[in-house]
Structure 1
Amino acid sequence: MTDTDLPPKTSRRQLFEHARTVAEQSDQYALTLESLLAILRSDRLDDRGARTIAIDAAAAALVGLRMATDEQRSAMLEPVVGAFARLQSDLRPLVRFSDLEVQFVEPPATGRALPGEVAYAARAIVRSAVLALVDQGETRRVRIQWDCDGLNLLIGIRDDGDGVLTGHDDSLRPMVERVAALDGEMQVTSTPGWGSNLDIRLPLDPPTAPEPLVDVVPLSLREREVLKLVASGARNREIAGQLGISENTVKFHVSNLLRKAGAQSRAELIVLSAAR
C-alpha cells in the first residue's frame, strides 16, 4: 500500500464523526424503547392515555434523532447547566413512567462551558449507565451529579442496586470506551447489598496529539522504510521482498523500531507511526 492508498485525514475524520453519530443514535433508540415500554406498562395510565403519550414520546425522539444527525457537536460549546438540562430531558420519559427514582444534582451555574464533544459524551455515558442499571432489575434509585473544577467535568452516578458492578462488567464497556476516548478516568466501587458508585472524570481540553514517531525518534533510512511498510500492514516476508533484504534482517529492523519507540507490539508501533 502506498501513501496514495491511505485515506486522507479528512476522510478518517468523517468516518469518526459518522461512527459517533451512529453510536449516539443507538443510545437514543435504546433509551426511547425503554421509555416506550415503561409508558405502555404503566399502571397509572389507561390504554388510550398510554398510546397518546407513547406516540408523543416516539415523535419527539424521532425529531431529536434527526436534529442530532445534522448537528456539528464538536464545534460547539455548551454551558454545563444547559448540557445537564438536556440530559434530564433525555431521561424524563423513563423516569416518569417507570419505577426508577432518579435524583439530579445540578452543577453550579458558574461552571466552565463544555466543549461539544465532552457534553455529548457525558450525556451518552450517563444514559448508558442508567440503562445498564435498569437492566439489572434490582435498582430503584439512582443519583446523578455533575460538577466542573475548571479543568474537568466530574460525573458521579450512585445506585441502590445489589452492589456487584465492576469496571470489567460488559454492560459498562460502552462507557469505558467513551471515557478512554476522551483521555478520562472512570472508577467503579461497589458494596454488596448497598449499591455501586461510578466516578468519572472527563478533561475539558483535548489531549495533546503525539508527534509522529519519525519526528521524535532518530531512525536510519532503512528503518524509516521498514516502518512505512509495517504501518501499511505488510508482513515481514512482504517487506523483505519489497526492500530486497532477508526476513531475518527485517526482524532485526522491526526489533530495533520496537525498542526505540518503546512499543510492546507491532500494533502499538503502527499506532505510534500514524500519530498526527
Structure 2
Amino acid sequence: MPKTSFSLHAGADLAARSGMVAAASLREVAERLHTALDDVWPHTALVIFTEDCTGRPRKKAGDPEITQHVTIAEMTALRDRAAGGHWTGEAEFGGRPRLVTVLGADTGAVLVLSVPEEPADEDRVTCTRVLWSVAAACIARQVAEAAPDYLQESRAVTSERLRVTAELTDRHVTDLESLLAALRTRDLDDARARARAIDLAADALIRARSGADLVAFIAEEPVSRAFERLKSDLRPLTRYEALQIQFIEPPADGRALPGEVAHAGRAIVRSAVLLMREQEEVTRIRVQWDCDGTNLLVSVRDDGPGRMDSGLPPLRQLAARATALGGDLDLESVDNWGSRVEVRIPLDPPDTSEQPNESWGLAPREAEVLRLLTAGRRNRQIATQLGISENTVKFHTSQIYQKLGVTSRAAAAALATEAGLR
C-alpha cells in the first residue's frame, strides 16, 4: 500500500475522525476505525478483541482473507504480547505468520493491525493511539449501557456460538481420543513414530479443550467477580457524597453469569441507584444480588420518600433491558417507607426447540432473516450480519412473505412477534 502524506497538526481533521469513530455502533466501530486509520497507518486488516462484548468479542474490518481466519486464541496471544501497550512484530494472525502491530487499551481491549511496515513518523503512531482510545471507550460505553437491542443480539449470538463450539469440541475430542487409542495399540511397529504421534495428538487434545474453556470464559463471568465490578462502578458515589450504599454479596459459589446478563444487571443497578439518589432525603441504598441457579435476582432499595413512578422514561428503559433477556422488573413504592426495584433475569435463553416457524415451513436461513427483520434490521444490516448479499436478503424476504401470507415487513414482524419468534 503506497504511503500518503499525513500531518497531525490539522487538529480539526483528527477531531472529525475521532467524532466519526465515537458515534459508531458496536457493529460499525471496526469499519469506522479502519476508515479513519486508512491514511494514518496503512494496513490490510483490522481486528478488535474485547472480552466485555460477549456476543461478538472480535470486531473486524479489511481483507476478509485475513479477518475470517482470525481466532480468539490468536487475539489472546497477541494481547498478552502487547501487555496493554504497543508491540510490532511477526506473529500468527489469520492462520499464518504476518507483520502486525498490537495496541492495548485501558479498558482491556486490544487492536491488531496487519501492516506492511511500522511507520517511523511519530505523528502517525500518536494519531493511531488517539483514535484507538476513542474506539475502545466507545465500545466500553455501549456495553456498559446494555441497551435492549444489544442484549438481545448478544444473547442470541452467545447461545449459538456456545452450541456450535460445544459440538465442534466434542467432535474433535472424540476424534483425538480415538486416534490416541489406536496409536497406543501394539499393532504399530515403529515405536518412535507412535510415540511422536501420541505426543502430537495429546497436545491437540489439550488445545481443543483449552479453546472450549477460553470461549466459555469470554461468554460467562463468575457472579462474585461481576458483583465486584458493580461495587467498583458505584464506589465514587459514596466517596464524594453523604450516601451510604450497602452491598449484600451473592453466594461465592453461585453459577457463573452469561456476559449479557452480567452487563444488564450492572447497568440496571447503576441506573436505579442514580434515580434513587436524585430523590430528596435518600441517605442509604441497599443493593443485593442473588442467583438461584436459574435466574439473576436483583434488588435495589432506598430509604427515601417512596414516590418513584414506574412511568418514568428511565424506569421504562430499565424494564426494557430486563424484558430483552426474557426477564421482568417490578417497582414498589410506599410513602415514607421508600422504593424498591426488583429484577429477575433468566440465565439461559428461552427454549426455541419448538418455534412456530416450523409450521410456516421456513428454511434455517429464512428463519434467521425473519429474526433480524423482526428486530428492526434493514436489508444491508442483515446482509452484513449473515455474510450474504442484499439481493439474497431480498430473495429470502420474498420467500418469507409468501410462506407467512403477508405482503410487508411490518406484517411479517408483527406475525413473528405474536408467535414468539426471537
1:14 is aligned, of 10, 27, 35, to: 27
Distance 1:95 1:215 in 2: 53
Equivalent of 1:78 in 221, 240, 248: 221
> 2: CA distance between counterparts of 1:272 and 1:211?
15
Distance in structure 2 (CA, Å) of the matches to 1:87 and 1:200: 16
* Amino acid across the alignment from 1:117: E
- 2:139 maps to 1:69: yes
**Superposed CA RMSD:** 4.3
- Deviating more after overlay: 166-175 vs 80-89: 166-175
Residue 287 (structure 2) aligned to one of 129, 144, 164: 144
Cα deviations by residue, 1:143-185 (Å, 9 ceiling, x for unpaired): 0000110000111111011111233222312211110111101
The 8 Å contact of residues 212 and 272 in structure 1, kept in 2 or not, is answered as no
CA spacing shift, 1:92–1:195, aligned 2, 3 Å:
same
Alpha carbons of 1:85 and 1:211: their partners in 2 closer, same or farther (altered >3 Å)? same
AA partner of residue 264 (structure 2): A
1:103-141 superposed Cα distances (whole Å, 9 cap, x missing partner): 000001011000111001100000010111122233211
Which among 269, 272, 275 is matched to residue 415 of structure 2? 269
Cα separation, partners in 2 of 1:209 and 1:138, compared to 1, 3 Å: farther
Q: Of the two, which has the highest radius of gyration?
A: 2
- For 1:109, the equivalent position in structure 2 comes to 252
Q: Within 5 Å, give how 1:30-69 maps onto structure 2.
A: 63-64=106-107, 66=136, 69=139
Matched with 1:166 is: 309
Q: Percent identity?
A: 44
Tell me the secondary structure at the aligned position of residue 278 of structure 2: helix
CA gap of 1:81–1:266, structure 2 versus 1, over 3 A, is same
Map 1:202-217 → 2, pairs under 5 A: 202-209=345-352, 214-217=357-360
Q: Give the superposition deviation at 1:270.
A: 5.4
SS at match of 1:14: coil
Which structure has more RCO (C-alpha within 8 Å, separation ≥ 6)? Answer: 1
Structure 2 residue identity aligned to 1:194? W
1:136 match: secondary structure: coil
- Work out the CA distance in 1 between the residues paired with 2:296 and 2:138: 22
Q: Judging changes above 3 Å, is the alpha-carbon distance between structure 1 residues 210 and 196 closer, same or farther for their aligned structure 2 residues?
A: farther
Change (3 A) 1:67 1:254: closer
In structure 1, C-alpha distance between the alignment counterparts of 2:412 and 2:137, rounded to whole Å: 41
- Matching residue of 1:123: 266
User: What SS class does the counterpart of residue 153 from structure 1 fall into?
Assistant: strand
Question: What amino acid sits opposite 2:292 in the alignment?
Answer: D
Other-structure match for 1:262 = none
Q: Supply the distance in 1 between the matched residues of 2:275 and 2:329 (Cα, whole angstroms).
A: 16
Tell me the CA shift for residue 272 of structure 1.
5.8
The corresponding residue for 2:87 is none
The amino acid of 1:14's aligned partner reads R
Larger helix fraction of residues? 1
Equivalent residue runs for 1:121-270 within 5 Å:
121-209=264-352, 214-217=357-360, 268-269=414-415
Quote the offset at 1:217 in angstroms.
Answer: 4.3
Which deviates more, 137-146 or 149-158? 137-146
TM-score by length of 1: 0.56
> Letter of the aligned partner of 1:69 in structure 2?
I
- Distance, in Å, in 2 between the alignment partners of 1:76 and 1:85 is 18
- What is the one-letter code of the residue matched to 2:414? E
1:199 is displaced (CA, Å) by 1.0
Q: What is the rounded CA distance, in whole Å, between the counterparts of 2:281 and 2:275 in structure 1?
A: 11
Mapped contact 1:210–1:275 kept (Cα < 8 A): no
Who is 2:234 aligned against?
A: 91
Q: CA deviation at 1:69?
A: 2.3
- Aligned-partner Cα distance in 1 for 2:219–2:331: 30
- How many angstroms apart in 2 are the aligned matches of 1:193 and 1:203? 32
**2-structure distance, mates of 1:208, 1:130:** 33
Gaps of 5+ in 1: 1-11, 19-23, 25-61, 220-226, 234-242, 244-252, 256-264
Q: Is the 8 A contact 2:251 2:290 kept in 1?
A: yes
